[in-house]
């Protein structure tokens, strides 16, 4: 079935991977948006337009003009510490803009896929199933949970919430790094790094996440899905896996605890996801972290 797909926040890591996955599929007509005047990615035949996701009039006009069947909302403020300080901007992007998108979707019968986070949980009892009760401990998590609740207003069986965790990968001209790139760059430069060993996650390869979202669209699923990697690791363990896969000096990585960094926003200790629902209902099959890093090495020209 031919579908028109609007992707917001397309210049980010996930957005670029959605373009990579869906842009080559003839059943999809993509229009992508971002804050920049031009796309940060190259290739593909999808259209691009600059969009301020908090400008309700501009968003409504674009939806009227393009008439999408599905909106994938990747637009978000994700710097956890900045969200704690710049609360108004955080709330406007992560919550209020989703409320407006959901209202547009409800009025026009459009499906809304809202990308969310493991930080909607307090980290007391991860990894989490979709049925677990959210309880965010920082403002970023609260704003994303509000966005989830607004997304549910898109209409019965017209919304999907995709929660993910510690997304990593490589893409073109990213405005901010991610954990994989940071570890690689520091170790390649011979710089020692300190990484927490008291936070657990299920690291998520961005390509896997994009494939999971495409499967939700393809199979017409709705509801909440946890889409991440399978492996439940401390952040320190994940850094060591990256070093080993890239044949970099693991001795440069030292373990420490969260209190060392005195970060503005609290971080949940044990999040991560149980992904059985995505595996059974979508056929979702994520890479192992070692296979994902091998794939990234080829992308980055290191092999």
Looking at the annotation, which residues are catalytic? 140
> What are the start-end ranges of the H helices in 133-234?
139-151, 179-188, 206-218
CA atoms within 13 A of residue 11's CA, in its CB half-sphere: 19
DSSP letter for 144, please: H
Residue 21 CA to residue 15 CA, distance in Å, equals: 10
What are the percentages of helix, strand and coil residues in the chain, rounded to 5? 40, 20, 40
DSSP letter for 288, please: P
Residue 5 CA to residue 209 CA, distance in Å, equals: 17
Tokens of 49: 């337009």
Residue 95 CA to residue 1 CA, distance in Å, equals: 31
3-class DSSP state of 291: helix
Cα–Cα nearest to 227, from 145, 114, 83 = 114
Residue 148 CA to residue 81 CA, distance in Å, equals: 20
Residue 123 CA to residue 109 CA, distance in Å, equals: 36
Q: Which residues of 28-59 are buried (b: 16+ CB within 10 A; e: fewer)?
A: bbbbbbbeeeebbbeebebebbebebeebeeb
Residue 13 burial (CB count, 10 A): 26
């Amino acid at each position: 079935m031919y579908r028109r797909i609007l992707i917001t926040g397309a210049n980010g890591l996930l957005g670029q991977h959605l373009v990579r996955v869906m842009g080559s599929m003839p059943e999809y007509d993509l229009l992508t948006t971002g804050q920049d005047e031009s796309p940060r990615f190259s290739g593909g035949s999808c259209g691009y337009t600059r969009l301020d996701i908090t400008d309700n009039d501009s968003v409504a006009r674009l939806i009227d003009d393009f008439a999408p069947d599905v909106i994938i909302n990747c637009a978000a403020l994700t710097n956890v510490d900045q969200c704690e300080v710049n609360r108004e901007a955080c709330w406007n992007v992560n919550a209020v803009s989703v409320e407006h998108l959901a209202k547009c979707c409800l009025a026009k019968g459009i499906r809304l896929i809202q990308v969310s986070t493991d930080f909607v949980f307090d980290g007391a009892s991860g990894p989490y199933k979709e049925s677990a009760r959210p309880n965010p401990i920082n403002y970023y998590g609260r704003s994303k949970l509000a966005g989830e609740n607004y997304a549910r207003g898109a209409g019965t069986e017209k919304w999907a919430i995709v929660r993910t965790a510690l997304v990593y990968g490589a893409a073109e001209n990213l405005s901010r790094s991610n954990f994989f790139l940071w570890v690689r760059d520091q170790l390649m430069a011979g710089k020692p790094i300190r990484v927490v060993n008291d936070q657990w996650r299920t690291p998520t390869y961005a390509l896997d996440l994009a494939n999971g979202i495409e499967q939700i669209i393809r199979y017409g699923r709705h509801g909440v899905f946890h889409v991440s990697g399978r492996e439940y690791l401390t952040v320190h363990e994940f850094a060591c896996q990256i070093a080993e896969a890239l044949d970099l000096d693991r001795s440069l990585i030292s373990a420490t605890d969260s209190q060392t960094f005195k970060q503005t926003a609290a971080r949940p200790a044990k999040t991560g996801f149980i992904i059985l629902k995505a595996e059974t209902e979508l056929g979702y099959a994520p890479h192992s972290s070692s296979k994902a890093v091998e794939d990234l090495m080829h992308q980055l020209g290191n092999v």
